[in-house]
Amino acid sequence: MIDLKILQKDPQRVIKALADRASDIDVAEFLALDARRRALLTEVEELKGRRNAASAEVARAKRAGQSAESFIDGLGALSERIKELDIQAQEAVAATETWMLNLPNLPHQSVPVGASEADNQELRRHGAPRSFDFPVKDHVELGQNLGGLDFERAAKLAGSRFCVAWNWAARLERALISFFLDVHTRENGYTEVAPPYIVNRSTMAITGQLPKFGEDLFKLENREYFLIPTAEVPLTNLHAGEVLEEGDLPLAYAAQTPCFRSEAGSYGKDTKGLIRMHQFMKVEMVRFAHPDDSYNQLELMRRQAEDLLERLELPYRTIVLCTGDMGFGAAKTYDLETWLPAQNTYREISSCSNCEDFQARRGNIRFRPRGGGKAAFAHTLNGSGLAVGRTLVAILENGQRKDGSVILPKALRPYMDGMDVIAGRV
RNA sequence: GGAGAGGUAGCGAAGCUGGCCGUAACGCGCCCGACUCGAAAUCGGGUUACCGGUUAACAGCCGGUACGUGGGUUCGAAUCCCACCCUCUCCGCCA
């Protein structure tokens, strides 16, 4: 949610931002809703003021032991009128709130303007894609041949877009999680958190998954419970409704969680393999920062994610998402894409965003300035560090050899009992 | 699932025989000041948020709203009634 005052006083800025995002949301609609809201509030508050004054007279008369009947006369009718107007006013308030909750964040001025991913800007590349002197296999073929990835049985258990990992693959997933979290907690100053994987509606609304993107979520049947699509949701909500101390900022949390996504609307996309799953593991970084510092924190987080790829010896590039390709709550987003030889392209493996105060407003996440004073909204940031399933894909495809075995990155070997090559069932 | 207790400011807590009690007693914390070489202790003062109107103003002033959430009774609700949510304790069940 953006600041209401920006909409009221500088609607052109919002109109521009929405155009940049290629959104069809109509600011004029909001302006009309808001005008109605304010007119109704002015009217009903004037009546309430009169009622409050009259009630004070009643109280005064009763305390003085006098009859209050003359004051009470007619107040019933006034209260009836207030009740009617109040309903209209509350509806008008709710209408503006709903509109605001469906409005995406304003892009930061440094974000390139563009309509689609074609307009994203490449920031840097690291590592040259390997050249292979044999036909490359994709991770599905490699993983199945080596007895690690089992999509058939996963389909039996659950359906498409699930995978059973056996032996070295299950171990490799656990190794990646441990490796990522060890780097984050030992070297990068993150506090490790193990949050719930199920959250309520309010939590989903604060980070922006609801009300607009409910169809992307898995919802439990009996209650207003949702499976998290990313650990960003529980981690960012950790401080909802709280007032932090400025001196404690920035706060940095890391968690490994499964992520659940319905992938509605992605029929036919990435149907093969581990790229797009209903359930996948991810290590997530979340930071709470001072507004003046949040873009430094974004760069820091981006570097931390890049560093993981470098240690895993995976070629990657970093891109800045353009206005039209950014997520709902983000003001600026970097995507890290790792090279996948079988697809002969770079694919997203991490996304690092600064949401500025967009989520903080929804969740009332504030901090008390040093030296006291009014609490202000913190900035929230999130980034993958990294998506585990896709990292496993990259390791298989980039490390493959002609005989179908896979060389493991050195950084991972301590986590695999010293194993350096995946050569078959272990 | 059964029984009980509770949800009030940054935190703790009073108010709960309905009406100067919500810028909300009292305490803690925090801010300013006094004392001090400095600090601690002590003493004095200050410290809710949001919305509407006015406005150049996110200054001031006027008004409204908020005591877990939503309803109800009433001229008037933190206070009385109903429903729901959450937390805690005990019991039951259970990894």
Average pLDDT of chain A to the nearest whole number: 94
CA of A71 to C1' of B66 (A): 27
Distances in whole angstroms, Cα of residue A269 to Cα of each of A266, A342, A345? 5, 16, 15
pLDDT at residue A143 is higher than 60: yes
A291: amino acid identity, one letter: P
Which nucleotide has its C1' atom closest to residue A223's CA?
B85
Contact A406, A422 (CB under 8 A): yes
CA of A219 to C1' of B7 (A): 28
Active site residue A124: no
**Three state DSSP letters for chain A:** CCCHHHHHHCHHHHHHHHHHCCCCCCHHHHHHHHHHHHHHHHHHHHHHHHHHHHHHHHHHHHHCCCCCHHHHCCHHHHHHHHHHHHHHHHHHHHHHHHHHHCCCCCCCCCCCCCCCHHHCEEEEEECCCCCCCCCCCCHHHHHHHCCCEEHHHHHHHCCCCCCEECHHHHHHHHHHHHHHHHHHHHHCCCEECCCCCEEEHHHHHHHCCCCCCHHHCCECCCCCEEECCCCHHHHHHCCCCCEEEHHHCCEEEEEEEEEECCCCCCCCCCCCCCCCCCEEEEEEEEEEECCCCHHHHHHHHHHHHHHHHHHCCCCEEEEECCHHHCCCCCCEEEEEEEEECCCCEEEEEEEEEECCCHHHHHHCCEEECCCCCCCEECEEEEEEEEEHHHHHHHHHHHCECCCCCEECCHHHHHHHCCCCEECCCC
Per-residue confidence band for A381, with pLDDT thresholds at 50, 70 and 90? very high
Active site residue A361: no
pLDDT at residue A99 is higher than 70: yes
The protein side of the strand B contact, defined by CB less than 7 Å from any of its atoms, consists of: A 4-5, 8-9, 34, 37-38, 41-42, 45-46, 48-49, 51-55, 58-59, 62-63, 68, 72, 75-76, 78-79, 90, 243, 368, 371-372, 374-375
Active site residue A348: yes
d(CA A336, CA A260): 21
Q: Per residue in A158-194, pLDDT tens?
A: 999 999 999 999 999 999 999 999 999 999 999 999 9
Contact A180, A409 (CB under 8 A): no
Which nucleotide has its C1' atom closest to residue A71's CA?
B75
Place of tokens 């997530």: A284
**Residue A25 pLDDT:** 96
pLDDT at residue A142 is higher than 80: yes
Question: Which bases of chain B are contacted by protein, using any atom under 7 A from a CB?
Answer: 10, 19-20, 30-32, 46, 48-53, 57-58, 63-65, 71, 74-76
Q: How, if at all, do strands A251-260 and A191-192 pair?
A: parallel
**Residue A265 pLDDT:** 83
Please state the rounded mean pLDDT for residues A355-364: 94
Selecting among A21, A37, A287, A390, the annotated active-site residue is: A390
**Residue A72 pLDDT:** 81
Which nucleotide has its C1' atom closest to residue A46's CA?
B63
Stronger pLDDT, A20 or A243, i.e. the higher one: A20
Q: Per residue in A46-74, pLDDT tens?
A: 999 999 888 888 888 887 777 777 778 77
pLDDT at residue A268 is higher than 90: no
Selecting among A21, A37, A171, A261, the annotated active-site residue is: A261
Active site residue A261: yes
Per-residue confidence band for A129, with pLDDT thresholds at 50, 70 and 90? very high
- b or e along A126-142 (b: 16 or more beta carbons within 10 Å of the residue's beta carbon)? bbebeeeeeebbbbbbb
Q: Per residue in A213-264, pLDDT tens?
A: 999 999 988 778 899 999 999 999 999 988 888 888 999 999 999 999 999 8
Q: What is the pTM of this model?
A: 0.94
Please state the rounded mean pLDDT for residues A322-329: 97
CA of A275 to C1' of B10 (A): 45
Per-residue confidence band for A310, with pLDDT thresholds at 50, 70 and 90? very high
Which nucleotide has its C1' atom closest to residue A37's CA?
B52
Active site residue A370: no
**Residue A189 pLDDT:** 96
**Residue A425 pLDDT:** 59
Share of residues in chain A with pLDDT > 70 (%): 99
Which nucleotide has its C1' atom closest to residue A78's CA?
B75
Stronger pLDDT, A245 or A407, i.e. the higher one: A407
CA of A86 to C1' of B17 (A): 32
